[in-house]
Chain A
Amino acid sequence: MMDVEILSRIQFAGTIMFHYLFPPLSIGLGLQLFLCELAFFRTRNPAWEAAARFWTRVFAVNFAMGVSTGIVMEFEFGTNWAVYSRFVGDVFGSALAAEGIFAFFLESGFLAVLVFGWDRVGPGMHLFSTLMVFLGSMFSAVWIVVANSWQQTPAGYHIVWHDVQGEMMPRAEVTDFWAMVFNPSSVDRLTHTLIGALVLGAFFVASVCSYYLLKNRHEEVARRCLSIALPTALLFTIAAAMTGHHSAQQLVDTQPAKLAAMEAHFKTTEDPTGLYLFGWPDTKNEKVHFGVKLPYLLSLMVYNDPMKPVPGMDKIPDDERPPIWLPFQTFHLMVGLGTLMIGVSGFACLSWYRNTFGKQRWLLWAIVCMPVAAMTANQAGWITAEVGRQPWIVYPSVQDGVQMMGLRTADGLSESVTAEQVLSSIILFGIIYSLLFAVWVFVLNNKIQHGPESSEELTEYKRKRHAQTMADKFRQSSGSHGGDMMEDENV
């Protein structure tokens, strides 16, 4: 029988990784959808409307998955990590509550208008609702990344000891709300995460549209959407590289152990530090097998100075070292995929500019595959960030010159929960999530194969719809039967 700790870690990693498939796509698609609708609003071209209606349907399927798997995350802190929840409730809870009030209500409310409101509200109101859903999903990311960043680089708090039935227990309490929100890593991590999501959305749209071009289907809509998706993809992949660089640079001050793990940098030397392009770290012998190293580069990247050595894992006490192999590989995977995405989107934009896009089939196929690269990069980045901070669930930090206690992941568990309970929840959710994933892929594929309506179909649908509404109005105003009692009173 495995113990509660390892099971709880597996459960948390599994549920959050599954959840994290959907929100980045919702955020990224949200922007593409908004841009399509904005184009429709300004040009009133039915092809843009067909595009926006199509992406709305794709968005809705994805959004429902994000919401339903997200609700699990919110309660999991209490069910599986009760000790952690008591320790950080004062801090972490307020960010979560702010997410509920400022983000979830906004997105879920206007989602109704976005998905069901096409025939009920005007284009202006619909455009506004799309913007609100997009902003809501961004706000949601803001608060959740702030909460997570606080655990990585805590700020604006102090530790208070409480007497719990005779035993003193520590708790982190907020002393400065804005210092908590704008902790040293919030802004860097938030911009990098959001841009990662926008990259995914842009490539998703570009991928589906390139597929249509390959199959000679829905070409009008596909070309229009590509004119938005390709430049945004290039813009955001470059921005992702820049923000990623920033994010990594602050690690040397805030989480040197994570930086050392990401680079498998075992021993601090007097000489400048090099950067591995790839390799196979071996923690036991403190070596990197098959590694290819570029000299000076890590020093240059971290300090903007090629000569200054970067501290290695030997500066970290033995029992505070994170695993190395996984953060190393996921970090390098993310960087590699990022470079690939910059290359592909750069090529695509050049080809679009030269008006040869669509003739190079290899390029179309490359773009079709890009969402997988973007999704993998998002997940890999998350794994680097979370595994790299172990063994801490809340990092120890220095506040006003005072060393604050952290909380180890192993100490954050719910004491009253048994291994059997956690295991059964893993099995239950394993089955449900596998089923959901299959259904999601199936329905998404269905939607994509069906594709957007043509402009003519859409115009015909709207004409019929209008006639039906007029007939309904006529029926309601002419007879005393057919309506319900409420309406009768108003007549």
Chain B
Amino acid sequence: MSYDLLTFIWFVLLGVLLCGYTILDGFDLGVGILHPFLAKDDRERRLVMNSIGPLWDGNEVWLVTFGGALFAAFPVAYATVFSSFYTAFYLLLTCLIGRAVSLEFRSKVHSKPWRKFWDVGFFLSSFTAAFLLGVAGGNTMAGMELGPKYLYEGNLLSQIYWYPLLVGCLTVSLFALHGAIYLYLKTEDELQARVRRAITPLLYAFATLYIIVTIATWAHVPHATENIAAYPILWIVPALNVLAIMNIPRAMHLGKPAYAFFTSSMVILALASLFSVAVFPNFMRSTIDPAYNVTLENARSSAGTLKTMLVIALIGMPCVISYTVIIYWIFRGKVKLDSNSY
């Protein structure tokens, strides 16, 4: 197997891990964003939290493994991306910690202010995490002030301007929509009816932002369409994306929420693919000089490591997928509270 092919395979595998993360943790974060608006009393809040209770931890592992795999397969990209996004990244880590402990600690004590505190923590950390992921994605799309020898010359303030903020709003609305469809699947009765009423406005909000971001990308990030222009077959990605978005209301109308959930997962998959197509073959594009780009070629590890890692992935991934399926199967059906619940 050639070195270049190995490199490309690892680019795709990282994409798979990132998609896995955004699809799975996407609904967790969405549930966190929606929970103060949809759940009316303590029992409903617990129901909403326990809908993701057994799953969020495993979902987050996709991000952790993505980090490890990026470190191993493209160490230069790992080092450059994380040191450039230093402050933003520490905020994201704060949010992930905040979400984990809000879930874990909230229902451990019977006290109103205690529970209120962790409820607010759960919402804020979920919302900010989703937003920051989008901001990071927006900056990566648009390019950053990367100088010679992978040295980042900008700062947090140069990462916060209208375009990444807009992409941040898009991810928040996408995760909220995805989370709402998931909640619809897991809840019953009155709470479910409330969730159902939220889906349509969320869909409109997402679709509007999607159109705005598409136009903004066209105007602000001209290189984003270069790959599509060079390989017209890639038009299939945005086309599928639009079809998937339109399929969500259809599936809900047909009364097939599981199908709708599958569709919104496909929307995330298509968006992530669109992102990959737009940045390929770079990890980070320099706005100072294209010679300073962090590319697949200058960021990769040795052929030996890529090969070893592929063996590790080929042994590990089937195991991971099989027990993920088992766990989701065990916790299928409507969420119920028992003595082990949060």
Contacts and interface: CB of A to CB of B under 8 A. Distances in A.
Contact of A93 (B87, B101, B301, B331): B301
A415 B151 contact: yes
Contacts of A68: 96-97, 100-101
B287 interface: no
Contacts of A96: 67-68, 71-72
Interface stretch (A197-205, A339-347, A350-358, A420-428): A420-428
Q: Which of A79, A83, A416 has the most CB of B within 10 A?
A: A416
Contact of B324 (A67, A75, A109, A121): A109
B298 A160 contact: no
B302 A82 contact: no
Interface in B263-312: 291-292, 298, 301-302, 304-305, 308-309, 312
Interface in B3-60: 53-55, 57-58, 60
Contacts of A484: 185, 188, 192, 257, 334
A244 B78 CA distance: 35
Contacts of A67: 57, 60, 100
B340 A116 contact: yes
Nearest to B292: A165
Contacts of B316: 98, 101-102, 105
A113 B54 CA distance: 8
A443 B109 contact: yes
A471 interface: no
Contacts of B257: 484-486
Contacts of A443: 105, 108-109
Interface in B216-240: none
Interface string B306-328: 00110011001101100110110
A320 interface: no
Contacts, number: 261
Interface in B60-107: 60-61, 63-65, 67-76, 78-87, 89-90, 93-94, 96-98, 100-101, 103-105
Given A177-B308, A428-B94, A443-B105, A79 B86 contact: yes
For the residues of A in contact with B, the DSSP-based class is: helix
B61 A74 contact: no
Contacts of A425: 86-87, 90
Interface in A36-72: 56, 60-61, 64-65, 67-72
Given A72-B93, A120-B331, A85 B323 contact: no
A360 interface: no
A68 B125 CA distance: 13
A261 B80 CA distance: 35
Interface string B237-266: 000000000000000000111100000000
A94 B309 contact: yes
A94 B58 contact: no
B66 to A, nearest CB: 8
Interface in A156-176: 160, 164-165, 167, 169, 173-175
Interface string A106-130: 1011111101111111000000000
A461 interface: yes
A69 B331 contact: no
Given A416-B83, A416-B84, A101 B331 contact: no
A64 B102 CA distance: 10
B86 A421 contact: yes
Q: Which of B75, B188, B320 has the most CB of A within 10 A?
A: B75
B93 A417 contact: no
Interface residues of B, number: 84
B152 interface: yes
B94 A100 contact: no
A71 B67 CA distance: 9
A154 interface: no
A432 interface: yes
A90 B148 CA distance: 22
Interface in B116-158: 148-153
Interface string A402-428: 000000000000111100010011001
A443 B340 CA distance: 15
Contacts of A102: 312, 316
Given A113-B327, A165-B149, A173 B304 contact: yes
Given A116-B54, A486-B258, 10 more contacts: A77-B78, A85-B78, A92-B71, A105-B316, A113-B54, A121-B330, A165-B292, A174-B304, A416-B86, A461-B339
Interface of B: 53-55, 57-58, 60-61, 63-65, 67-76, 78-87, 89-90, 93-94, 96-98, 100-101, 103-105, 108-109, 148-153, 185, 188-189, 192, 255-258, 291-292, 298, 301-302, 304-305, 308-309, 312-313, 316-317, 319-320, 323-324, 326-327, 330-331, 334, 338-341
Interface of A: 56, 60-61, 64-65, 67-72, 74-75, 77-80, 82-83, 85-86, 88-94, 96-102, 104-106, 108-113, 115-121, 160, 164-165, 167, 169, 173-175, 177, 414-417, 421, 424-425, 428-429, 432, 436, 439, 443, 446-447, 461, 465, 482-486
28 contacts: A64-B101, A65-B101, A71-B93, A71-B97, A79-B89, A86-B75, A86-B79, A88-B75, A89-B301, A90-B301, A94-B312, A105-B58, A106-B319, A108-B58, A112-B54, A112-B331, A113-B330, A116-B331, A116-B341, A160-B302, A174-B308, A414-B79, A417-B83, A428-B94, A443-B108, A461-B339, A486-B185, A486-B256
